[in-house]
Amino acid sequence: MKSVAVIADSYYPARTSAAAQLKDLAAELNQQGISPLVIIPDSDLVQAWNLEVMGGVRVLRLRSPKIKDVGYIRRTISEFFMPYFMLMRYSMSPLSGEKFDGVIWYSPTIFWAPFVKRLKRNSSCNGYLILRDIFPEWALDLGLMRKGIAYRFFKWIEASQYKIADTIGVQAGKNIEYFKSWPQFNSKNIEVLQNWLSETSPGLCSISVSNTFLAGRNIFVYAGNMGVAQGIGIVLDLAESLLNRADIGFLMVGRGSEYLDLKRQASNRNLNNMIFFDEIDSAEIPALYNQCSIGMVILDSRHKTHNIPGKFLSYMQSGLPVLAKINPGNDLVDLINEANVGSVYTGSSVTELRDIAEALVDKLILADGMDLRCKNLAKELFSTEVAVKQILTALEV
């Protein structure tokens, strides 16, 4: 049986959308007759490495520095050294001599080059970069970074990752334009690789909306990371503008650098139509969405790079139309409008966003079949089977 290495910085049972996607990816590789070895860093390990089998997939965890829920400086230092620690731990594992027919790695993080380069060289195989985050460009767009020493350092790291990839799969067609500014990579195979999500049946959820003060309302839900890249603050403004609508509520579920501050702001502003919950297991998400009416996709409008967030896929799969507050020109604008699966706003006016949100709720009441269109879109565009076949074709496996 042919085999591939799948490298990422998180995997099930982590509760990130990336971890859920990679679990689906590995399971589908198995289904298509390819044996995956998932390799991930783990700062909680006591020993150098740990090998386990999860759902028929081998998962090799390698002890490395902590990169989650730490300060930016510590995270940068840890991510820089992470691949070198992983190389050392990998060489100590019984799998260090294994040969692969391809190497797949998921970015973020952008620091994988040393580890991937070694695996590719040892196996004389091709590599596929699943690029979901164009960093440091988005940080520059948001004003979090200037074109100084730090920016040049990250650009060097970014370039080293692109250099070792034989194929780069980006999230959106407009991201291909970004690579036109990289003349040295014009010979690379740059293609759109849609995000993916395997279908799951709703189970149980630890969050019961009916037991909260939002019971009986049309619920706008946001489940995922709440960091600086999302610009979630506008959701608080939207909730405040809709305090007069007793039939509308906002459910915020997740984690991230801005989570506690957003929760505190909601309390200080007496937003009695909004409630926060800590992140839940990805297996609980379908049951959570079954209790909601509309999914929210929020991206800071200053972004110039483009993406289709994983949460959008999970909303579609659950039949939830979306309210998307995103950057102008994002591929998601045309996708939502053409498929008629929600409403999009690319401006900055809370009043205009409120009007769009209210109109979307009114449209739901008319029951125009939007839920079915959402589910059909998920099946047509965001199939894990299609994504895996595309990757394997590029790897020539």
pLDDT in tens, 292-303: 999 999 887 665
pLDDT in tens, 23-35: 999 999 999 999 9
How does residue 304 score in pLDDT terms, banded at 50, 70 and 90?
A: low
% of the chain surpassing 70 pLDDT? 94
| HSE of 305, CA atoms in CB hemisphere, 13 A | 23
Arithmetic mean of pLDDT, 97-102: 95
- As a whole number, the mean pLDDT across the chain is 88
Q: Structure tokens of 168?
A: 């780069």
pLDDT in tens, 362-374: 888 766 788 899 9
Sheet of strand 49-54, all strands in order from the earlier edge strand to the far edge: 49-54, 57-63, 35-42, 3-7, 103-107, 127-131, 167-170, 189-192
- Is pLDDT at 235 greater than 90 in this prediction? yes
* Those residues with Cβ within 8 angstroms of residue 261's Cβ, 6 or more apart along the chain or in another chain: none
CA 235/CA 233 separation, integer angstroms? 5
| HSE of 344, CA atoms in CB hemisphere, 13 A | 20
Q: Give the chain's domains with CATH numbers.
A: 3-196+383-395 (3.40.50.2000), 209-380 (3.40.50.2000)
Q: What pLDDT is stored for residue 305 in this prediction?
A: 60
Three-state secondary-structure class, residue 314: helix
Q: What pLDDT is stored for residue 185 in this prediction?
A: 62
Q: Structure tokens of 211?
A: 């037991």
Q: What pLDDT is stored for residue 267 in this prediction?
A: 93
CA 39/CA 28 separation, integer angstroms? 17
Per DSSP bridges, beta strands 49-54 and 57-63 are antiparallel
Three-state secondary-structure class, residue 275: strand
